[in-house]
Each structure stands twice: as structure tokens, then as C-alpha cells.
Amino acid sequence: MKKVFLALLLLNVLIATAQQFPSVTIPGSEVRKITSTIVNGQEYELHVLLPAGYYTSTKKYPVVYLMDSQWDFPVVKSIYGQQYFDGFIPELILVGVTWGGVHPNPDSLRARDYTPTGEARLPQSGGADHFLDFMKQELFPFVETNYKADAGNRILMGCSLGGLFTMYTLFTHTDMFTGYAAASPAVAWDNEVLYRFEKTFAEKKLAKLVRVYMTVGDVEMGRPMFEKFAGDLAKHHYSNVQLHSKVLENTGHSGTKSETYSRGLQYIFERARLQLSAEELNKYTGTFQSSKGEKVVLKHEGNQLYLLAGPKIKLLLYANTKTHFYATHEFFNVHFKFINDKVEAFDLVRYSGTQTFNKLK
């Protein structure tokens, strides 16, 4: 009896101790719920991450739709922070999609929603078209009504069956997204049924550029099949499609997510590097000063444009457009202001804020 009493006492102490500490939450994120009339009254839970400054901005943001958010939302939230801070990707909205309701079973539900055809071993499979209808008719309108989302700039990311769904969407509903990142896509599904849909895709003439990034781990059993699939896709040289595939060193099936989503977002949002003539580059040169009296010099040297700030800082600027240049060492963007084809000022946009520099006469 004494042992039972001591055990209960210890249990109460442990419970009381646990209740003294709050749960870890993800700052800047929120949970929304939406019930689909298309997918059997299924409730979906949306994990939404908004960029800093969202509520004071008037612009619209690209939206990344992440499959299997129940596992991967924290991973991609961290990846977004890293890649944005380093200047590789723009501010964006992250929408992770998972299943709500009472005790949802992701293993069963993802087999239903992410697979394009039915397999006998998984009787619930084959519901990808219904899930795509849900996205198009219910999810997108919800997100684009409730958030400042750019309907013309959506990205889809998924792993394994989510990767299968990502590639199936590319082949069959290409115009729904501008970028696709597929980690370890389940190419083997239903006797490599993806090839059937790829055949139709190869005949399409896309009006807008689409970027696709896909990977496999080098120790995965499905690596040979993936490499054949990737090689076959590369041979087609699709119109208006930029495709990159990679085998990740010393990586297994689940481990492909972090690098795929990091490199995939870099690839999807990769900026241009225009080659401007010496005459064009000379338009940007001169000495500029901020309202705080800080001076910088823009110098044309060796067919490149450099920003000099003091004796020790010399940054190479790349031309994304003729009004937007950037550096790669951090989030560092220079937006030029022209009057009568002459540069009069530029906005320096960094992670910490925006400064305007006016050209000294």
C-alpha cells in the first residue's frame, strides 16, 4: 500500500511539474480549418505562416502549398527563414495542408488524396483528382480571399506520395502552379503509371515558365527507378519547363525533405543575371547619399556593377531586371528610380528595412 501511495505521489508531482511549462509554439503561424464538400466532407487543417510585415504591407505574396504539414511544417518554416534571410527567396506565405477531424489517420488519408490511381492493396487510394478539385475550387479561393496571396504565383511541394502527387499535378494540372518541388516521389506507384500522364504532358505547349526540382536519396531502394525517370524527362526538353533532378549524398527516403525544399525553393525563385552592356551599366554609376548622410559609390568595373561602402566593402551586384539589382551575401536588393532614362536614386532593401539613397549631382 505504501508503494502505491508513493507511486501516486510521484505521478502527481510529475504532472504538476509538466503543467508549469508552456508548450512550444511556432511564432508567426496560425491554424485555419476548412471542410471540403468535394472530398467526402473531409475537414482539412491549414497551417499558415505569414511573412514579417505582412499586416502593414499592401503587396501580394507567392504562396507555397506544402503537403503532409503534420510532419513537415516546422521543417519548412525554418527553411523559409534561412533562405529568406540569406536573400535566396522572397517573402512568401506558407500554407501547410493536413487532415483535421477526430483522430485523423494521415497514413490512410494521404494514400487516398495523393495517389492518381487505385491499387488493390490500398482500397482507399486513387483520390488525387478529387483532392485537386478541392484545391482548385475550395482551398485556393479560401486562401486568396483571406490572405494577400498572389494567385499567379503558387508553388507545390511534397515528399514520397506527396512527391508523386506533385509530379502528377505537374503533368495533368500544370497551370495550377508555377513551381514544383518533389522529394523522393513514389515513381513506382501502380507500375510507374506516371509515365502515362507524362506522355500527354510532353505534348503540351506551356504559355508560362514552370520550374521543377526533384530528388532521391542515394541509399534509397528506388534510386535506379528515379534516375531512369529523371533521365527520361530530361530527354524531352519540354517547352517552357526548367527541370532539375539530383541524387542526394548519404541520404535516405525521409531525409530528402530538408535539402529538396531548401534547394527547390532556391531553384524555383532563382533570379536572372542579365548581361548589360558597358553603356547601360554606366547609367547606374555615381555617388549616392542617404537621408542620414551615409554615402555609397556605384562603380562599373570589368563589365560588372559594384557597390562600395567605405574602404573595405565592395559588393558585386547582379541585374535581375534593369531596375532591380541584388547581391548574394544576404537579403540585399537595390531598386533604381529613373527620371528621363537617368538614375536619380535607389532604394536599398535589406532584411532590416529600406533606405533611400539619392544621387549626388
Predicted confidence (pLDDT) per residue in 109-164, tens digit: 999 999 999 999 999 999 999 999 999 999 999 999 999 999 999 999 999 999 99
What gap in Å lies between CA 97 and CA 134, rounded to an integer? 12
In this prediction, residue 53 has a pLDDT band, given cuts at 50, 70 and 90, of: confident
> What is the three-class DSSP state of 316?
strand
Cβ neighbour number for residue 82 with a 10 Å cutoff? 12
What gap in Å lies between CA 310 and CA 290, rounded to an integer? 14
Under 8 Å between Cβ of 177 and 87: no
pLDDT, one tens digit per residue, over 268-324 is 999 999 999 999 999 999 999 999 999 999 999 999 999 999 889 999 999 999 999
Across the chain, the runs of DSSP E, i.e. the strands, are: 29-35, 43-49, 61-66, 93-99, 149-159, 179-183, 210-217, 241-248, 286-290, 295-301, 304-308, 314-319, 324-327, 332-339, 342-350, 353-359
In this prediction, residue 5 has a pLDDT band, given cuts at 50, 70 and 90, of: low
188 phi and psi angles, rounded to 5 deg: -75, -10
Three cell numbers written together for 235: 530527354
Task: Delineate the domains of the chain, giving CATH numbers in brackets.
Answer: 29-268 (3.40.50.1820), 278-359 (2.40.128)
Beta bridge partners of residue 210, listed in sequence order:
241
Question: Given the DSSP bridges, would you call strands 332-339 and 324-327 parallel, antiparallel or unpaired?
Answer: antiparallel
pLDDT, one tens digit per residue, over 169-194 is 999 999 999 999 999 999 999 999 99
Under 8 Å between Cβ of 179 and 214: no
Across 39-92, the runs of DSSP E, i.e. the strands, are: 43-49, 61-66
pLDDT, one tens digit per residue, over 19-51 is 688 888 888 899 999 999 999 999 999 999 999
Q: How far is CA 53 from the centre of its chain?
A: 19
Q: What is the pLDDT of residue 351?
A: 86
- The yes-or-no verdict on residue 13 having pLDDT over 60 is no
The predicted model gives 330-349 an average pLDDT of 96
Q: In this prediction, what percent of the chain has a pLDDT beyond 90?
A: 88
> What is the three-class DSSP state of 298?
strand
Under 8 Å between Cβ of 139 and 97: yes
181 phi and psi angles, rounded to 5 deg: -130, 115
Cβ neighbour number for residue 304 with a 10 Å cutoff? 13
Q: Give one word for 29, left, alpha or beta, with left for phi > 0 and alpha for psi -120 to 50.
A: beta
Which contiguous run of DSSP H or E holds residue 10?
helix 2-18
In this prediction, residue 2 has a pLDDT band, given cuts at 50, 70 and 90, of: low
pLDDT, one tens digit per residue, over 224-240 is 999 999 999 999 999 89
The predicted model gives 102-111 an average pLDDT of 96
* CA dihedral sign, ordered 345, 347, 348, 354: positive
**pTM, entire model:** 0.91
Closest to 62 measured CA to CA, from 268, 229, 323, 235: 268
Q: Give one word for 53, left, alpha or beta, with left for phi > 0 and alpha for psi -120 to 50.
A: left
